[in-house]
Each structure stands twice: as C-alpha cells, then as structure tokens.
Amino acid sequence: MLVAPHTSNWDFVHLMFFSFLVEVKVSWFGKHTIFKWPFGRLFRYLGGVPVDRSKHHSFVEKMIKEFEKRDKFILALSPEGTRKPVKNWKSGFYFIAKTLNLPVVLLGLDYKEKTINFLFPIYFDEKTSKEEAIGTVKKLFSRFNAKYPEKFIC
C-alpha cells in the first residue's frame, strides 16, 4: 500500500486511524530513532519496523522475504520516503510488487477535502519500467491536497 502525500506527522495518525477503522493490521517503516523509549514498544505494536536510513541495506530483498514467509502482510509505504519535499520518489514498492506479482493499492490523503481515498490496485508487469511506475503513481496522487502543499512534489 502506498500512502501519499506524506508531508506531516498527522499522515501517520490518519493511517493508523484508518487501519483500525477497517480492522486491517498494517506494517510500516520509520526512522530507527523513533523506536526508542518511551514510544518504541507502542510503535512496534502498531506495526512499525525500525529502519536505519543512514546506512544502505538490502531493503527490497528483506521485504520480499517478509512477504514470502507470511500468509498475510500489508506494508504501507510512502513513495516520497520522507515528509520533506523530494523530486525523486523511492522505487522499492515497484521492485517488491513486480518481483512478487503483488498489487499496489494507493491510499490518498486529502487534507482540503478531509478524506482518505482508496484507489484501484495497480499491477506492474514485465514491460512496466520503474520510471513508468513512478510516473503513474505520481499522476494518481497529484489530485490530493497535502497538509503542507509546498512539501508535496508530484
């Protein structure tokens, strides 16, 4: 599941509220430093997995292994990878989905309309390039209004 725009800490609150509302356990990644006392145990309970972003890890390979060893696994990612404005979005979702032939479900947060929007699932076949996939996702998310619009670059 891709969640965007991601420009505020409130995005996380809305994702957690939505997951409780629809009764779906969602896993997500956060900077390893937020998993320390006093919130570490709570964030792990809420599906959080710490990631040290200062080091390059084989993130995609690790996620593929997680999907393969679980019967049920819903991973929520922000394609921007941060709340700061970024021109180049992350591509891990593309490689995970393409390798495992999984759908990517988009969850659009719209602060102006005060809505959380499910979009149709997307599959990437062998012909879909990384650039095409990211372009498609950016175009679909471009209709949503971020909490801080100046931070959301589509």
**DSSP assignment of 65-118:** HHHHH-S---EEB-TT-SSS--SS---HHHHHHHHHT--B-EEEEETTTTEEEE
DSSP type of residue 122: B
pLDDT digits (tens, 9 = 90+) for 40-87: 999 999 999 888 767 776 888 888 888 888 888 899 999 998 999 999
> At residue 122, what is the residue type?
I
2-4, strands of its sheet edge to edge:
2-4, 106-110, 115-118
Q: Give the separation between CA 26 and CA 18, rounded to whole angstroms.
A: 10
DSSP type of residue 36: S
pLDDT digits (tens, 9 = 90+) for 101-147: 999 999 999 999 999 999 989 999 889 999 999 999 999 999 999 99
